[in-house]
Structure 1
Amino acid sequence: MILAAAHDMYGTVVAQVGNPTPEAPPISDKILQMVRYLTWFVLLSGIAAITYAGGRFAWEKWTGGGLQSPKMVAGAMIGGAVATSAGTIMNAVIG
């Protein structure tokens, strides 16, 4: 009997809550601006890393040293792919 009353009360409370619509927080525009700046910085650092690795690759080939720069290029490219698809990944995980 107590369980039935609790179940009825729970159903009444849930029915009153309804389906809320999402609303942006008050400072969301500043947060989104910061995210855009960080995205720009990540892309710029990826371009710098690939440029540096390409120059190092040329130097290693010219001097005949060990080749470590192809790993750097691959790492920068994989990091860039993950960084630019971060929003899609989060939507897949959360949604």
Structure 2
Amino acid sequence: MGDTFTTLAQIGNPTPQAPPLSDKLLQMVRYLTWFAMLSGIVSIIYAGGRFAWEKWSGGALQSPKMVAGAMIGGVVATSAGTIMNAIIGT
């Protein structure tokens, strides 16, 4: 029992190494992040225009929900990296 523990204790702390093709995966993640930010900006602009149209035409106001949803989605999308860094660590 003592020899097994000594052998396991001598393994040490391995250094992390990036897997093969990880640069392509990170590039895809950057593209998806860019797309999420672009879609959030477009949705806020669309909801703002729709809000102005609904206010001008006197229709039912559906767009404040759209603006709130776009803003909440933006907060979640932009904080995903921070949350993962806090969970996984550096």
TM-score, length-normalised on structure 1?
0.85
Per-residue deviation, residues 22-58 of structure 1 (Å, max 9, x unmatched): 1111101100100010011001100110011001101
Q: Which runs of 5+ in 1 are unaligned?
A: none
Which of 39, 42, 57 does residue 33 from structure 2 map onto?
A: 39
Q: State the percentage of identical aligned residues.
A: 78
Q: 1:59 aligns with which of 53, 64, 85?
A: 53
1:10–1:84 distance in 2 versus 1, CA, 3 Å = farther
Q: Counterpart in 2 of 1:15?
A: 9
Matched, 1:85 2:85: no
Query: C-alpha distance in 1, partners of 2:4/2:61?
Result: 66
1:30 to 20, 24, 27: 24
Q: Is 2:74 the counterpart of 1:72?
A: no
- Structure 1 segments of 4+ aligned residues over 4 angstroms from their partners: none
Deviation at 1:91? 1.8
**Aligned-pair distance for 1:11?**
1.8
Uncovered stretches (5+) of structure 2, i.e. residues with no partner: none
Structure with the greater alpha carbon radius of gyration: 1
Report the AA paired with residue 13 of structure 1.
T
CA distance in 1, matches of 2:20, 2:42: 35
